[in-house]
């Protein structure tokens, strides 16, 4: 008779999501001395993967990445779910807990189609559906045109090759996880701020499932978890949605977090930036940073914030 798995791990079906799920399974097996068969990967097709011709903000926001996995988790069809944390809504259902964050990968974006932001040709069409990337680009290069482009990594690379855009952006961590580590030019994350929680793989489970929470605790990377908690707390304070241009970068050193953040007007004409340094576990400091940003923001920026999602 087949051996029952110890853990059923839900994941989206996209190639990057599957690569992340395989990493999570490998870490679980290494931590607990299991054979690979102990962790069953259970793929689902997320709503966000079904519709790729419109921005997320128009069709339901970040919940499109988590809806099906949340339902399967609550229905106990899976024991845990693997997510790219930058795609997970700030406010989660009370019955679900973020039980583990894997060691964070490269937080940077990569630029495809040009050697640097400065070297993107004037008037070029730059493909992105991310408000952060669009606003940050237009702030630096108001002479280019942003065109909407969505899809998984392979799809966006194919659209660029087909001439639907002259340049585009992809997360370095995603490219690395797919073995595309030589694609694009890395943008310094201290200058070109990434998305909050970029490059982090998170695993959620039912809050009251003590067995699974204990198993997942064995692969939780404490420093990465602290960074993600701070960045998500910043998002909570900003009350942004998937259409709010928000960039953030945190770094831990000697038990303290340095958190840089910027918010923009969608057209990139206005950029409000600030930073804070605080002890790990101080969940009020990111909220205070968010308040400072919003207090300094003119109406054309502030109007895009205020409702947490």
State the pTM of this model: 0.91
Residues 232-256: pLDDT tens digits? 999 999 997 778 999 999 999 999 9
- Evaluated on CA atoms 159, 202, 21, 69, the torsion sign reads negative
pLDDT, residue 67, reads 86
Provide CB contacts within 8 A for 266, sequence distance 6+. 131, 134, 135, 243, 245, 304
Residues 163-192: pLDDT tens digits? 999 999 999 999 999 999 999 999 999 999
Calculate mean pLDDT across residues 41-65: 60
Q: Catalogue the active-site residues.
A: 87
CA 147 – CA 230 distance, rounded (Å): 32
Mean pLDDT of the chain: 92
More confident call, 55 vs 27:
27
Strands 39-44 and 145-147: unpaired
Residues 200-221: pLDDT tens digits? 999 999 999 999 999 999 999 9
Calculate mean pLDDT across residues 255-267: 97
The model's confidence at residue 1, banded by pLDDT at 50, 70 and 90, is: very low
At 71, which helix (H) or strand (E)?
helix 63-74
More confident call, 1 vs 280:
280
Calculate mean pLDDT across residues 135-159: 93
Neighbour tally for 49: CB within 10 Å: 17
């Amino acid at each position: 008779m087949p051996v029952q798995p110890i853990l059923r791990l839900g994941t989206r079906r996209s190639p990057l999501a599957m690569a992340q799920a395989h990493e999570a399974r490998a870490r679980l097996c290494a931590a607990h001395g299991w054979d690979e068969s102990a962790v069953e990967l259970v793929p689902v097709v997320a709503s966000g993967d079904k519709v790729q011709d419109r921005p997320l903000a128009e069709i339901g926001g970040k919940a499109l990445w988590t809806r099906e996995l949340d339902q399967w988790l609550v229905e106990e069809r899976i024991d845990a779910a693997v997510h790219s944390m930058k795609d997970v809504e700030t406010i989660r259902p009370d019955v679900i807990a973020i039980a583990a964050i894997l060691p964070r990968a490269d937080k940077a974006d990569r630029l495809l189609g040009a050697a640097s932001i400065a070297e993107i040709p004037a008037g070029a069409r730059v493909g992105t559906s991310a408000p952060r990337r669009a606003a940050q680009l237009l702030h630096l290069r108001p002479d280019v045109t942003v065109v909407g482009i969505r899809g998984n990594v392979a799809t966006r690379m194919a659209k660029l090759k087909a001439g639907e855009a002259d340049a585009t952006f992809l997360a370095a961590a995603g490219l690395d996880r797919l073995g595309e580590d030589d694609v694009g030019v890395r943008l310094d994350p201290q200058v070109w701020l990434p998305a909050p929680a970029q490059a982090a793989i998170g695993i959620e489970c039912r809050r009251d499932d003590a067995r699974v929470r204990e198993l997942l605790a064995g692969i939780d990377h404490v420093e990465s978890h602290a960074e993600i908690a701070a960045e998500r707390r910043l998002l909570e304070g900003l009350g942004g949605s998937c259409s709010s241009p928000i960039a953030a970068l945190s770094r831990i050193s000697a038990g303290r977090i340095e958190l840089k953040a910027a918010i923009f007007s969608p057209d990139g004409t206005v950029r409000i930036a600030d930073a804070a340094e605080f002890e790990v576990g101080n969940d009020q400091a990111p909220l205070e940073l968010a308040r400072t940003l919003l207090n300094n923001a003119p109406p054309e920026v502030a109007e895009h914030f205020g409702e947490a999602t």
